[in-house]
């Protein structure tokens, strides 16, 4: 999309009013003009089928309601970002850019989303215009705490900016900003050489049929499309045991739990493990004298929707300690929900005695919470051992939903950081160049109405409409399909002529 600086529009309205914006435009006047600009931009944004901001995106369909949400996360975009659909042109069963045959399907706008009929697969392609962008003339203030999606204006660049994260304080949108501060790490056990022995301590995990955070209730019985799965790995990260249950729609959660326990008990890779089930608390307890891990305890109500369920480590594994044995150094990482940023990369940098850096990373998905990022980091450390032998000595244990402990037989140090996707704090709000003149005329008309000059405002409104029509006429050629697909191209062949 061709863009122009917001300042060009703001100053354009000010000049029409008779003000020199570089000298005479006061803050409260600029705020009023920005509100007029926003109003006119909303009116003109989808007044014509402008191809510059029309998109075709692949979107997952809810197989129960047969709808797609108005707030969509394009599947092919990384890092994942969402945007609100403003106007829908068409819905297709396959990507219309890959075929010439008709692949559109009827749709209806409903309160819970866009209904796409019953002929779809897992995905549909929607042609749409996003909701109109909004701008502000309020200048960025260093001491303000900007929440995600808050707006700020910079007179230095003439651009309007949208905050990309919460707790955005002191980060000039026009400057080069330092990366976010390191996450909290704490040494909870220094490396020690011991002379007394101790018996081994079994690792114990409780797996509860409860979605992490309690945000999604588990129906009892679950639907016939639901699937439950558990995967167990040894210390090296190799899969040693698993169980999967496909719900029938009539089984209770207790029955499903019992079947998962039976499968795990019969798995030859889990020989020697103690595995029990508690139907009252819907909990599976797994115990063994090894540093095993539960790396997947998942409820899948319907593909591709997946939910992590609650895994609690009741007791950490400790090998038998003999004389001159080593007490491993332990470093605890803390991650809170406030530090969860979809699309951000969470990076662990371990430094060995020789100052060599060893890095493991996890990129947060759109639906991740703090516990899922913790589990993702633990899995990343296990996976890193395949290419860096340093990580074979790093044991990662999720102690709570927000704490992850790493232990090593070497005197290591750890730095944990968050790498935000793209610009760390701000994104430029793009103002469409095509609508600049129309918005200036329309915003000026609103200012005239405010002053009681309705007759003069009418002329400006007509000028705004003419500007949009002229811009649309230059873009939409008369013999081409318009975006709403309601006008066919004229045929090259004429029968009987």
Of the two residues 50 and 154, the one the predictor is more confident about is: 154
- Scanning the structure block, which residue is given the tokens 């103002």? 431
Local confidence band at 488 (pLDDT 50, 70, 90 cut-offs):
very low
Is the predicted pLDDT of residue 250 greater than 70, yes or no? yes
Give the pLDDT of residue 424.
66
Of the two residues 187 and 171, the one the predictor is more confident about is: 187
What value does the mean pLDDT take over residues 150-157? 90
Is the predicted pLDDT of residue 434 greater than 90, yes or no? no
Give the pLDDT of residue 480.
45
Give the pLDDT of residue 77.
40
Is the predicted pLDDT of residue 471 greater than 90, yes or no? no
Is the predicted pLDDT of residue 187 greater than 80, yes or no? yes
Beta sheet of 403-408, edge-to-edge order: 184-189, 329-334, 403-408, 395-398
Give the pLDDT of residue 152.
94
Most confident of 74-88, 294-308, 473-487: 294-308
What value does the mean pLDDT take over residues 473-485? 53
Give the pLDDT of residue 195.
63
What value does the mean pLDDT take over residues 277-292? 95
pLDDT per residue over 334-366, tens digit each? Answer: 998 888 887 788 999 999 887 788 999 999 887
Local confidence band at 80 (pLDDT 50, 70, 90 cut-offs):
very low
Is the predicted pLDDT of residue 21 greater than 80, yes or no? yes
The total of other beta-carbon atoms located within 10 Å of residue 105's CB is: 16
How far separated are the first and last CA of the chain, in Å rounded?
42
Rounded Cα gap, residues 445 and 343, in angstroms:
42
Give the pLDDT of residue 218.
87
Is the predicted pLDDT of residue 64 greater than 70, yes or no? yes
Long-range contacts of 40-44 (CB under 8 A, 24+ apart): 40/438, 40/439, 40/442, 40/443, 40/446, 40/464, 41/132, 41/133, 41/134, 41/135, 41/431, 41/435, 41/439, 42/132, 43/442, 44/435, 44/438, 44/439, 44/442, 44/464, 44/468
- Which of these ranges, 302-306, 348-352, 423-427, 492-496, has the smallest mean pLDDT? 492-496
Instruction: Kindly give the interhelix angle for 27-45 and 454-475, rounded to the nearest 10 degrees.
Output: 50
Query: Could you please report the per-residue DSSP string of 33-88?
Result: HHHHHHHHHHHHHTSS--GGGEEEEEEE-BTTTTEE-SEE--TT-SS---EEEEEE
- Which of these ranges, 37-46, 160-169, 174-183, 272-281, has the smallest mean pLDDT? 174-183
Model pTM score: 0.46
Domains, the chain, with CATH or none: 3-135+428-475 (no CATH), 180-196+322-419 (2.60.40), 199-320 (2.60.40)
CA dihedral (396, 398, 402, 408) positive or negative: negative
Is the predicted pLDDT of residue 330 greater than 90, yes or no? yes
């Amino acid at each position: 999309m061709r863009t122009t600086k917001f300042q060009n529009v703001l100053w354009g309205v000010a000049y029409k009013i008779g003000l020199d914006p570089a000298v005479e435009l006061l803050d409260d006047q600029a705020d009023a003009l920005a509100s007029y600009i926003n109003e006119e931009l909303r009116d003109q944004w989808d007044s014509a089928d402008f191809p510059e901001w029309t998109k075709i995106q692949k979107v997952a369909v809810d197989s129960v309601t047969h709808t797609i949400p108005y707030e969509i996360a394009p599947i092919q975009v990384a890092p994942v970002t969402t945007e609100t659909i403003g106007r829908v042109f068409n819905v297709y069963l396959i990507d219309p850019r890959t075929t010439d045959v008709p692949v559109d399907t009827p749709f209806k706008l409903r309160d819970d989303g866009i209904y796409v009929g019953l002929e779809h697969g897992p995905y549909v392609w929607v042609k749409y215009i996003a909701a109109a962008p909004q701008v502000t003339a309020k200048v960025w203030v260093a001491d303000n705490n900007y929440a995600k999606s808050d707006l700020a204006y910079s007179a230095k660049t003439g651009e309007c900016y949208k905050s990309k994260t919460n707790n955005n304080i002191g980060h000039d949108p026009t400057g080069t900003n330092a990366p976010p501060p390191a996450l909290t790490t704490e040494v909870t056990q220094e490396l020690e050489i011991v002379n007394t022995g101790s018996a081994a301590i079994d690792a114990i995990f409780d797996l509860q049929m409860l979605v992490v955070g309690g945000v999604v209730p588990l129906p009892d019985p679950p639907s016939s499309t639901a699937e439950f799965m558990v995967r167990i790995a040894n210390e090296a990260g190799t899969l040693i045991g698993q169980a999967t249950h496909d719900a029938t729609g009539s089984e209770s959660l207790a029955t499903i739990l019992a079947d998962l326990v039976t499968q795990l008990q019969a798995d030859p890779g889990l020989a020697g493990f103690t595995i029990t089930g508690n139907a009252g608390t819907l909990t599976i307890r797994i115990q063994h004298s090894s540093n095993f891990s539960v790396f997947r305890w998942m409820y899948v109500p319907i593909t591709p929707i997946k939910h992590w369920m609650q895994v609690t480590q009741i007791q950490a594994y400790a090998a038998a300690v003999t004389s001159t044995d080593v007490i491993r150094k332990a470093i605890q990482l803390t991650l809170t929900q406030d530090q969860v940023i979809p699309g951000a990369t969470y990076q662990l940098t371990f430094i060995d005695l020789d100052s060599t850096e060893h890095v493991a990373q996890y990129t947060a998905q759109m639906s991740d919470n703090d516990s899922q990022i913790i589990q993702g980091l633990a899995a990343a450390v296990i996976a890193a051992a395949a290419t860096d032998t340093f990580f074979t000595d790093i044991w990662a244990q999720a102690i709570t939903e927000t704490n992850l402990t790493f232990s090593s037989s070497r005197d290591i140090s750890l730095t944990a950081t968050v790498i935000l996707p793209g610009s760390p704090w701000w994104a430029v709000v793009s103002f469409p160049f095509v609508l600049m003149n129309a918005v200036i005329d329309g915003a000026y008309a609103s200012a005239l109405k405010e002053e009681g000059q309705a007759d003069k405002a009418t002329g400006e409104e007509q000028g705004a409409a003419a500007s949009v029509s002229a811009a649309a006429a230059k873009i939409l050629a008369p013999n081409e399909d318009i975006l709403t697909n309601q006008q066919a191209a004229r045929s090259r062949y004429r029968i009987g002529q």
